[in-house]
Structure 1
Amino acid sequence: MTIQAGETIPAQKLTQATAEGPRELATEALFGGKTVVLFGVPGAFTPTCSAKHMPSYLTNIDALKAKGVDTVACMAVNDPFVMQAWAKDQGVEDRVVMLADGSAALTKALGLELDLTARGLGVRCQRFALVAKDGKVTHVAVEAPGAFEVSGGEAILAAL
């Protein structure tokens, strides 16, 4: 079942792409004591993710921070090297924390997996965004298949 507002982010480990290389990051450290926007994409370098989803957060990062968001993070079921390359391609710099959920452990714990094995892509993350305050979810927006309406930077800004 998909995580709902009022629930706590599950304890999992992700891999953060950093300039020094991959670094393990626990969800407790990412979400603890902060307001975090986490958005998930089906894959780095995919058309909607690159043309719309990531740019929507980069455009709205200052407005999100002005509304009290401490961290904006992007997660995909990719490896940290792909996430780092995508961040470079998108001009992310240090504005968005890039997170690899290589085995889809957090994705599955959130109930947000998308099985694309029939299309040769394996298990991926649904396109979504959530807001959490000190690890407790306050808002969840999951896109319908093929849609980009509720999980972009503008939509999350409006929900804050």
Structure 2
Amino acid sequence: MPLNQHNPQQLQFLQEKIRTIGSAIFFNQSDAVLKLPTSVVTNFKVDDYGYVWFFMKKPNQDIRQFEQDFPVRLDYFRKGVDCFLQVQGKGWVVTDPEEMYAFLEMNEDINPQVFQDMVLVKVKMQKAEFYETAARTQSWWQHAWNTMTTLFRPNNVGSNTFFPAS
């Protein structure tokens, strides 16, 4: 199911799922020698333009030595949530003081001191794969019935693919 600016319902769907799951494993898929490390990140915001914003621990090296834009994969999963999401896109380290200031103005509950220990990253979602997993809250009878009938029905896991940067 392609996602573009003409279908805001799909973007809202992704925003809600990302908000529900809350955190992801960040993978910098660049071939660069010096790159942001794989990390668990907690999303701060998903905006109406398809950008996912979050903070990461600032590396020991000077951030200006790192690539400023790079391919990214974010794997969203949380125990107890009946879905998971894999987002691919292009990421940027936000270093422009004006953009950082504008971000702080829109999110007044952030202490500006966060920039001493953290770096702000934004990822433009280009592809999002959503997977719905089987419900885990079943009675013993439902579980027994599902176990018996598994051989006679297809797997009950659903998926959708979205392309936000169309």
Please tell me the TM-score bracket, short chain as reference: under 0.3
Structure showing greater radius of gyration is: 2
* TM-score normalized by the length of structure 1: 0.26
Instruction: Give the structure, 1 or 2, with the largest relative contact order (CA under 8 Å, sep 6 or more).
Output: 1
Relative to its length, the structure with more helix (as a share) is 1
Relative to its length, the structure with more strand (as a share) is 2
